[in-house]
Amino acid sequence: MSKVLVPLASGFEEIEAVSIIDVLRRAEVEVLVASLSDEMLVKGANNIVIQADLHVKEVNADMIDMIVLPGGWDGTYALADDENVQRILREMDAKGKNIGAICAAPFALNKAGVLKEKYTCYPSVEEQIKKEGYMGDKAMVVEDQNVMTSRGPGTALCFGLKIVKKLKGEESYNALKAGLLATYCE
């Protein structure tokens, strides 16, 4: 069974985190929700609280198949500044393992030095990344090598489904997409 780490920092974007976690668990992907702090309850940007399964400091790249970062500016800045998240991102990239980020979170990938040439993110975040290759709204999800990025809350379901496709294959992707009535996802 594939295992995906979703690290949460205070101020994370709830729609993105919950959509990703929910879609992956529906596809029978094991999701580890990790807190950056010593607290197991993490408050999102809109005051929704999620209980983490473990602390991010307990995780390394050998334990997981993919790491996926939700956005939200406060959460993104914390992910970019957290030494454990940055370490895991670099380890994952060095091993050629899958990395994902949505909304503002590609900023944290860029700080770790793992963001590839082609990417997308929430509009205006590319100005903080200052990296060529920004694809804008050309696609809801952009893949370049082992890195997958998406635009924001409105694309979170499609992003989760693309992760399912990558980890579980076309059949699981199509079945889940149909069940969720997500026919608008590419």
For the annotated catalytic residues, the residue numbers are 103
Strand-by-strand arrangement of the 30-35 sheet = 54-55, 30-35, 3-8, 66-69, 98-102, 147-150, 141-144
DSSP state of 135: -
Extract the tokens encoding 6.
Answer: 């979703």
Report the half-sphere exposure of 102 (CA within 13 A, side-chain side). Answer: 31
Q: Give the separation between CA 79 and CA 69, rounded to whole angstroms.
A: 8
130: left (phi over 0), alpha (psi -120 to 50) or beta: left
Total Cβ atoms within 10 A of residue 135: 17
- In one-letter notation, the amino acid at residue 150 is S
Convert 143-179 to b/e letters by CB count within 10 Å (16 or more is b).
beebbbbbbbbebbbbbbbbbbbbbbeeebbeebbee
Q: Give the separation between CA 128 and CA 133, rounded to whole angstroms.
A: 14
